[in-house]
Amino acid sequence: MRASFSNSREFKPVNISLLTVSDTRNEATDKSGLYLANSISQTGHNLIEKKIVKDELDLIKKYLQEWVSDLKIDVIISTGGTGLTMRDVTVEAHQEIYEKEI
């Protein structure tokens, strides 16, 4: 079911990659990743790729850089790895990749 916000614009699905950052989650226990993947599909968008990676700066950056360079991907969504411990480096990885914070 696609979300309908306005009848004046044609719906254009976007291609999305989804990154879950976690030292403990896997495909069976990644509830937020599953929720987001289902939401992407249910709203008529395209889930291009879904990955679960350990909370390691270089690994997170690897996928972000790869997906930013992929012309088939319009949007990158990440979830997890945003706690307050020294292991939580998702925000720092994003800061090293993006050009403008929004």
Distance CA 30, CA 26 (A): 6
DSSP secondary structure letter of residue 79: E
Q: pLDDT 10s per residue in the chain (102 long)?
A: 555 555 678 999 999 999 999 989 999 999 999 999 999 999 999 999 999 999 989 999 999 999 999 999 999 999 987 766 667 777 788 787 887 777
Mode of pairing for the β-strands spanning 75-79 and 46-53: unpaired
In 3D space, the residue among 56, 55, 62, 59 whose CA is nearest the CA of residue 22 turns out to be: 55
Query: Which residue type sits at 61?
Result: K
